[in-house]
Homo-oligomer: A and B are copies of this chain.
Amino acid sequence: MTTGLKPSNVHKAMLGETILFSGLNRDERNALLASATIVRYQMHDMLFHQGERGEYFYCVLTGFARLYRLGDDNQEGDIRICEPGDSFAECLVTDGGDYRYAAQAMEHSIFARFNLEQVRALLDHRPHIGMAIMRSLSRHLLSTIDCLASDRMQTAPQRVATYLLTHCKQEGVAAKMRLPFQKSLLARKLGLAPEALSRAFSSLRAAGVTVSGRSIEISNLNVLKTIPAITSRHAP
């Protein structure tokens, strides 16, 4: 990790686009920025480990962070993939405590790091900052609920179809996109083994999905919306 630096104007501009900073006026932004430093991590570097004392929360400027839990036998269960603009570990602002999951950079990445204690001190006299954090927490809660619901109700091909539908650039009934990260990371995000993702893409070929490296083309979006739960049986 590169040691913390004060945010430059470029960094401030990037932070201004985030959900966290939306709805804050100039004074509030500056107050929040005063508790922030900029840090860089290399691929696979750990930002923090599960169980460590929580000292900062983070906002992704560039790159990706993977949040995951450790299981009983040291298996890793992925919680969320954070993209530029996402923040994480803000849930420690109110109560403090330890990090409940581990965070790892999945590329050479840049983060804004906010001192929890300093931010906590702002809340009493800056209600809008509290509301900004609430807004961020609400989003995360809803997206985690989405994730839980899709884990419990959708098969692998359905989850992949949903991901494609919500991330592709439409061009008439067709669409295309480029994955922002490795397929193995997408697999983790969707709660799948890499092999299962690969098989899901294979089965989606029949629905007009063409995969080539990180580029994906979809011939008809409407077909993709109707991926059935049960894999169609072979002709009798």
Residues of chain A having any CB pair with chain B under 8 Å: 69, 71-73, 75, 77-79, 91-95, 100-101, 123-127, 130-131, 133-135, 137-138, 140-142, 144-145, 147-149, 151-154, 158, 191, 229
Specify the chain B residue showing the minimal Cβ separation from A147.
Answer: B148
Q: What separation, in Å, do the CA atoms of A168 and B72 have in the docked complex?
A: 20
Residues of B within 8 A of A154 (CB): 71-72
Number of copies: 2
Specify the chain B residue showing the minimal Cβ separation from A127.
Answer: B127
Select A151's contact among B91, B131, B134, B151, beta carbons within 8 Å.
B151
Q: What separation, in Å, do the CA atoms of A147 and B92 have in the docked complex?
A: 18
Specify the chain B residue showing the minimal Cβ separation from A23.
Answer: B94
Given A73-B229, A123-B127, verify A141-B91 contact (CB < 8 Å). Answer: yes
Given A135-B94, A141-B141, verify A153-B123 contact (CB < 8 Å). Answer: no
- A191 and B127 form a contact (CB under 8 A): no
Secondary structure at the A interface, as helix, strand, loop or mixed, is helix
Interface centre among A95, A152, A191 (most CB of B within 10 A): A152
Q: Can you list 5 residue pairs at the A/B interface with Cβ under 8 Å?
A: A75-B153, A95-B135, A101-B145, A123-B131, A148-B148
Interface centre among A72, A75, A145, A154 (most CB of B within 10 A): A145
- B229 and A152 form a contact (CB under 8 A): no
Interface centre among A92, A95, A142, A153 (most CB of B within 10 A): A153
A58 to chain B, nearest CB (A): 15
A29 to chain B, nearest CB (A): 18
Given A148-B79, A152-B191, verify A134-B141 contact (CB < 8 Å). Answer: no
Given A71-B154, A130-B130, A152-B151, verify A145-B79 contact (CB < 8 Å). Answer: yes
Specify the chain B residue showing the minimal Cβ separation from A101.
Answer: B145
Residues of B within 8 A of A131 (CB): 94, 123, 130
Q: What separation, in Å, do the CA atoms of A134 and B140 have in the docked complex?
A: 12
A134 to chain B, nearest CB (A): 5
- A152 and B78 form a contact (CB under 8 A): yes
Specify the chain B residue showing the minimal Cβ separation from A148.
Answer: B148
- B137 and A138 form a contact (CB under 8 A): yes
